[in-house]
Structure 1
Amino acid sequence: MEPPASLASAFHPGFEVVRVPVAPGVSLSAAVGGTGSPVVLLHGFPQTHLMWRHVAGELARDHTVIAPDLRGYGASDKPEVTGEDTYAKRTMAADVVALAAELGHPRFALVGHDRGALVAFRAGLDHPGAVTHLACLDVLPTLDMWDVLRGREAAVAFHLYLMAQPPGLPETMIGNSAEAFFAHFLDVWGGTPDVIPDQVRAAYLRASAAAVPSIVADYRASAGVDVAHDRADREAGARLTMPVAVVQQDWGARLGFDGAARWRAWAPRLAHHTVDAGHFMAEAAPERITEVIRELLRG
C-alpha cells in the first residue's frame, strides 16, 4: 500500500498515509497513526480527513486512529456512477468496514461528521458486528432529515435539493462555479474565520472542485436509494445496537423538531449532546468533541 499524492502530509505528525483497496477498482486514501483500540474518523462536506487534524492527534495517544477520505472525496478513488448504489451510503459503509479489516481491525469504533456521519450510521445498521461504538456529529439520519425539512426554513438546505436533481444540471451548475459554491458552505457554516485556516480552506476547495461529479452523486443517493434503505430499516424495526453518541447544534429550535427524540428512535443506547460550536465542530471545539468520543469509548 503505497502512500498516494495526498493532502495528508499536513495532517498530523506521526501519521502515515496509506492507500487501501476496499472494493473492485476502488481504493481509499487514509491517514493512520497511534496505537491501541481502533477508531475510524469519517469527514463531512465539503471537507477531507484534514477536518480531524486536532482530534486525531489527541485520540492517537491511546488509540489507533484511521482517518480516510470517503469514496468520491479527497485523494480517494472517485468511481463513475454505474447505478444507484455506486455512492449509496450502504456502499460507502462497506468501504469503511473493508478499510478497517484490511488494516487489521475487524472491530472498531466509528465517528462521522455530516456526510461521514450518514456513512457511519449506515455502517452501524449494516455491520453491527464490526462497529463497537458509534458517534455522529451534526446530522440526522437521512430519512429523518427529509422529514423535518419543510417551508421557508428548508432554504438552509438548498444544496440538498439542487444535488438531488437528475444527472447533468447540478454537475454543470456547480462545476461552472465550484470554488464559489463550496466556499459558501465553509464561510456560512464555519462561524469565525479562524476555525478553518487559509491553508486548510484552500485544500478543501481544491479537493472539492476536483470531485464535483462524485460529490453530487453522493448527495443524489441521499435523495433516493439511501431513503429507501432507511425506510426499509425503519419498517423492519432495525436499531443501532452499540452505544451511540450524537453531537448536534440546536437545530430543533429553528426547524421545530426534537433531535434527541429522532435519534433515540434509532439508538436506544444514546448519549445526546447539544453544542454551540457551529457546524464544523471538530475544528471549532476539538477538545469537546474529543471528550465526547472518549466518554463514548469508556461506556
Structure 2
Amino acid sequence: MAPVIPGFDYRRVPVADGVSLNVAVAGSGSPVVLLHGFPQTHLMWRHVAADLAADHTVICPDLRGYGASDKPPANAGTDADPAVYAKRTMAADIVALARALGHERFALAGHDRGALVAFRAGLDHPATITHLACLDVLPTLDMWDVLHGTTAAVGFHLFLMAQPPGLPERMIAACPDDFFGHFLDLWVGDPRAIPAEVRAAYLDACRAAVPSIVADYRASAGVDVDHDRADRDGGRRLTMPLTVIQQDWGAALGYDAAALWRAWADDLDHRTVGYGHFMAEEAPADIAKALRELLTR
C-alpha cells in the first residue's frame, strides 16, 4: 500500500470530462493548495502540509497524469494533442478541484512541475488565486531562454521529453526506475529527506505514468511556451503576492533569477537557498514558515 499523509482524508474529485484527481485534504481555515513536482506525487508535501493544516485547509492533489490521478491519453499514434497536458489545462483542473471542495478563492504553492501549473493558474485566474508560491523553477519561457551551450546538459530530460511521441516513451519505459531514480538521487541535498518507502512510492507512481509524464514535458516545449510568450508580449503579469524560493542555478547558468521573476510579478519576495531541489522535504520547517509569511502579505 502506498504511503499517505497521516491525518489527511483522501478522495477522488472530478475536475474535467473523464479526469478525476486523487487529493488529500485536512485542516480548517483559509485554503491552501499544494502542487507537487517531478518525479514525485503529493507526498512530497507531507511535512509542510501537516504543519499548515494546524490553521489552514490544506489540499494536496496529484496532478493529472501523476500519482493516483487520472492519466488521459495525449497521443494518437504519432500525433500529440498539446492541450491535454498544457499547464493551462492543468491549472484549470486545480481551480475546478478547489471549487468542488467549496473554495472560490485560495492560496496556491507549487514545486517544480507543480510550480509551472501554479504560475499558469496565477496568470489565467488572478481573481481566484490569493497568494502564489513557486519553488525551484523558472517560468517556462525563461527556462528555455537560459538553457544554452554545454550548460544545458543539466536539463537533458527536458530535451528528451520534448521529442515527438514514440521514442522518448519507449526509452524511458525500458528502464523507468533508472531514469526517474537518477533525478531523485541527483537532485536531493540530503538523501535522508526521502526515505526508502517514499522513494519506492515515487518510482511506482512514475513507472505507471511514463506516457503522461512525457506528455506534460512535451507540452512545456510547445504550447506552454506559446502561452507564456503571448502573456509576456501582452504585458500580462502576476498581480497577487508571490514568493519564489530557488537554488542558485543562476550563478552556474549565467542568469539573474530574481530579475526574470520580477518581469512577471508586481509583488515579489525572491529567496535563494542552499537546500537541494526537494526543499519541501529537506527543509520543511523553513518552507512552511515562508508560506505562512506569504499568507500574511
TM-score by length of 1: 0.97
| Offset, 1:72 | 0.1
- Aligned counterpart, 1:3: none
Aligned equivalent of 2:264: 266
Q: Of 2, 14, 18, which aligns to 1:25?
A: 18
Where has structure 1 moved over 6 Å in runs of 4 or more? none
Give the AA of the match of 1:48. T
Alpha carbon RMSD of aligned pairs, Å?
Answer: 0.8
CA–CA separation in structure 1 for the residues paired with 2:161 and 2:127: 33
What pairs with 1:94-109 in structure 2 (closer than 5 Å)?
Answer: 94-109=92-107
Paired amino acid for 2:181: A
Query: Which of residues 244, 254, 257 is equivalent to 2:255?
Result: 257
* Structure 1 residue 197: Cα displacement: 0.3
The separation in 1 between residues aligned to 2:96 and 2:220, in whole angstroms, is: 22
Partner of 1:41: 34
AA aligned to 1:35 is S
One of 6, 22, 34 as aligned partner of 1:13: 6
2:191 to 190, 193, 198: 193
Pair 1:64 & 2:62 matched: no
CA–CA separation in structure 2 for the residues paired with 1:257 and 1:207: 34
2:226 maps to what in 1? 228
Residues 66-87 of structure 1, C-alpha deviation per residue, up to 9 Å, x if partnerless?
A: 0000000000000011621000
Decide which of 47, 51, 55 is 1:54's aligned counterpart.
47
Residue type at the aligned position of 2:92: A
Question: Within 5 A, what are the aligned runs for 1:147-296?
Answer: 147-296=145-294
Instruction: Tell me how far apart the structure 1 counterparts of residues 90 and 133 of structure 2 sit (CA, whole Å).
Output: 17
1:192 Cα offset (Å) = 2.3
Secondary structure at the aligned position of 2:180 is classed as helix
1:226 Cα deviation after fit: 0.2
CA distance in 1, matches of 2:199, 2:248: 25
Which of 118, 121, 143 pairs up with 1:120? 118
- How far 1:15 sits from its partner (Å)? 0.6
- 2:82 counterpart SS class: coil
Match of 1:87 in 2: 85
Structure-1 residue corresponding to 2:78: none
1: CA distance, partners of 2:67 / 2:6: 19
Q: Which runs of 5+ in 1 are unaligned?
A: 1-5
Report the CA distance between 1:11 and its aligned residue.
2.9
Structure 2: stretches of 5+ with no match in the other structure: 76-80
Aligned residues: 292
The percentage of counterpart residues that share the same residue type is 72
Q: How many Å separate the matches in 2 of 1:18 and 1:37?
A: 20
Stretch of structure 1 that moved more, 188-197 or 85-94: 188-197
| 3-state DSSP of counterpart to 1:14 | coil
How many angstroms apart in 1 are the aligned matches of 2:6 and 2:57?
A: 14
